Amino acid sequence: MPTITIASSSVEVNDEGFMTVYDEWNEEIGTALAANIGLELTDGHWEVIRFLRDDFASQGETATLRRVSNTGGMPTKSLFKLFPKKPAKKMAYIAGLPKPHGCV
Could you list the residues that contact another protein (CB under 8 A)? Answer: 2, 4, 6, 13-18, 36-39, 64-67, 70-71, 76-77, 79-80, 84-86, 89-90, 93, 99, 101-104
Strand intervals (E) in 1-104: 3-6, 9-12
Run of H or E residues at 44: helix 43-59
- Asked whether the CA dihedral 83, 57, 70, 103 is positive or negative, the reply is positive
Nearest approach, Cβ of residue 50 and another protein (Å)? 19
Q: Which is nearer to another protein, 18 or 22 (CB)?
A: 18
DSSP string of 74-96, one letter each residue: --HHHHHHHS-S-HHHHHHHHTT
- For residue 100, which amino acid is it? P
- 33 among known catalytic residues: no
Cβ-based nearer residue to another protein, 8 or 77: 77
Q: How far is the CB of 22 from another protein (least distance, A)?
A: 18
Least Å distance, CB 30 to another protein, is 15
- State the catalytic residues: 103
